[in-house]
Structures are given as C-alpha cells and as structure tokens.
C-alpha cells in the first residue's frame, strides 16, 4: 500500500467488483463494515459461510 497507494486502491476496487461482489450475491452475504482494505461481512448461516 505504501509503495503504490493509488494502484493498490484501483486493484482493490477491481477485485471487489470482479471477485468479491459476485460471491456476495451467490452466498447472500452483506457488508457490515468496510475498513480501509478490509471488509467485515455477515452470512445468513454457517453453511453459507463455509461454502463461500
């Protein structure tokens, strides 16, 4: 992050839209909180959490 903050943020946004968001829909997660480069999510149940 320190070496390339702008590039890191751009790559994070791409990963979120291409990888994370589709899985959120598939496994019915929802975002509880975003903290910089971290995301706290909640699953509807244990099975969905393990399968994700």
Tokens of 3: 């070496």
Please give the full DSSP string across 1-52, using - where no structure is assigned.
Answer: --S-HHHHHHHHHHHIIIIIHHHHHHHT-EEEEEETTEEEEE-SSHHHHHH-
Cα–Cα dist 5/13, whole Å: 12
Task: Give 17-51 pLDDT, tens digit per residue.
Answer: 999 899 888 888 899 998 877 889 999 999 888 88
Q: What is the pTM of this model?
A: 0.66
List strand residue ranges (DSSP E) for 1-52, in order. Answer: 30-35, 38-42
Q: How many domains are contained in the chain? A: 1
Q: 30 pairs with which residues across the strands?
A: 42
Q: Which domain holds residue 27?
A: 5-51
User: What's the pLDDT band for 1 if we cut at 50, 70, 90?
Assistant: low
């Amino acid at each position: 992050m320190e070496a390339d903050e702008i590039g890191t943020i751009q790559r994070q946004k791409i990963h979120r839209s291409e990888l994370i968001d589709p899985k959120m829909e598939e496994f019915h997660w929802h975002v509880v909180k975003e903290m910089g480069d971290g995301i706290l999510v909640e699953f509807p149940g244990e099975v969905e959490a393990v399968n994700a």
